[in-house]
Amino acid sequence: MNMLKSKNLWIVIAFAILTTIPFLGLTEFNTKGEPRESIVAFSMIENGDWILPTNNDGEFAYKPPFFHWCIAATSLITGEVSLFSSRFPSAAWAIIMLIACYIFFAKRKDETTALLASFICFTFFEIHRAVFACRVYMVLTALIVLALLQLYKWHEKGMRGVSISAAIFMGLATLTKGPVGIVLPCLTMGIFSLMQGEGFWRSVWKYFATAIVAMILPALWYVAAYQRGGQEFLDLVIEENVLRFTGKMSYASHENPAYYYIYTTLSGVLPWTVLCLISLFFLKYKKPVFAPKEWWQKIKRMTPYELFSLLSIVVILLFYCIPKSKRSVYVMPIYPFMAYYLAIYFQWLLKNFPKAIKIFGWFISSLGFILLVTFALIKYGLIPDSICGTGRHALESIRMLRALESIPMTLYTIIFVSLPAYAIWQFVRYNAEERPDNKLLYSICAVSISIFLVLDAVLQPPLLSSKTDKFIAQDVAKIAEGSHITSYVSVDMMHFFGINWYLNDTVGVFNPESDRNEHNEGYILVGEQDRAILEEKCGGNYTFEEVYRSDKRSCDVKQIVLLLRYTTN
């Protein structure tokens, strides 16, 4: 099969690019995670240190550098480290992953299922969110999935030699987040090979050899980084990769129970979880029978690529249930394979219980309609501020309302807000057919995609940008222009990441002893609640004068930001 001649492949490529790339730079950083990662790439370019750069006044990055290399490389091409260049690697690797998965399933199943799975995968809430984030997890996900696909192809060809392509992807995955980039693909495929009748020792030897080859590139970096960072770097590596897995870290990090992944995965595949729930009311149920031998025989009768897809879901989920540290983004490599199984299931529903598909179609269409009506009401001032309440978050909610009201009704806005209406019309059209076909499923996908497009292109940029610390950084830059700026946060490992990024990594970390010796005066950023802790820590050796108070809480420290001018006593 010549995939380059496949119309569906080009549809997938166009869909993936046009729904992501144009919108990457529209939303300002509004969480601590994105600027924390982006500033590493900035320091690489600024200082010329691509091995172990420091930022936030001497802090090492907590993750290996491949993701930051991608940002830095993109930034060198675009001319600066920007919102767009910081998020581009996530989107680019996600697109590559989607194309590879489409080709994989199109060749082994059929193009229709592969196309539907592509639409479903890219409209999963968790995947969509990660595509637009300057975080390592989308890149890690793509590299693990690509490694799995290459290992499977290698297995199809008799596991001759070593899979160099898989080793490269695993090596890059390790350089993105750590050894998990090698462990997960090899563990999954090792179990698959055993279930396919491969000898135990042959399987162990083959995947061990591939893992060794995969470690070559990461090993070069780890050695170079250790020579630069010494014991401090080694301690960081052990904590992030060994102690995190064993639950013995020096600090609590996203600790959650084993069942955490049940509800986070269900929420991660929204909105398609709703269709699965609706379908439960149409299925015919039999009395459950405990027959493990029968189940095992059914599993063994699965086609190899379907068994591989199932194991990729089960093994990765079970693996991440072991450590105490759990996050929904860790299990994202299962989503492309879940999308394939959901595509199969939804096609079966369409054939046997089309009413379930139609109900879900009306549900998602209603969401699109409600979104447009709500935007219109906010845009024209028909929703009062009182709806935001009077609590501590009321002012931030009102600020968001004002941001939506300020959206100009240009041709650009009108085109995008019209997309859900057009998609809903297409759904209504195909829904009216007595014997609906896959076009009905595609129309529902179109409604979901149009909703995401309205959010990404029109609503989210002003809405989320209203939370950014960019404007605080601009105010600080004007007041403290050319002066020494430091910061103090009472929580360990926390900084004013966003402000520091917008100020080009010029914000130091306040140290009462060294700053007293080196700087008689300067400026310090501190949260409103942290000021008392800071003054107590300084023990009367400094005089502080408040020269600026932000009108919103920082999205990093969740406090009103104060800029204090200090002098030594």
HEC readout, 342-408: HHHHHHHHHHHCHHHHHHHHHHHHHHHHHHHHHHHHHHCCCCCHHHHCCCCCHHHHHHHHHHHHCCC
Residue 546, classed as helix, strand or coil, is strand
Q: 81: which DSSP letter?
A: -
pLDDT value of residue 380: 84
Residue 454, classed as helix, strand or coil, is helix
Phi, psi (rounded to 5 degrees) for 76: -65, -35
pLDDT value of residue 45: 95
Q: 325: which DSSP letter?
A: B
pLDDT value of residue 124: 96
Q: Where are the domains of the chain?
A: 21-349, 367-465, 470-568
Low-confidence ranges of the chain (pLDDT < 70): 1, 243-254, 389-392, 513-519
pLDDT value of residue 248: 65
Q: Is the peptide bond before 384 cis (omega within 30 degrees of 0)?
A: no
**Dihedral (Cα; 102, 21, 68, 185), 10-degree rounding:** -10
User: In angstroms, how far apart are the furthest CA atoms of the chain?
Assistant: 84
HSE, CB side, 13 Å, CA atoms: give it for residue 497: 20
Phi-psi region of 162 (alpha: psi -120 to 50; beta: other; left: phi over 0): beta
pLDDT value of residue 259: 85
Cα 524 to Cα 563: distance, rounded to the nearest angstrom: 6
- Answer for the pair 57, 39: CB distance below 8 angstroms, yes or no: no
pLDDT value of residue 59: 80
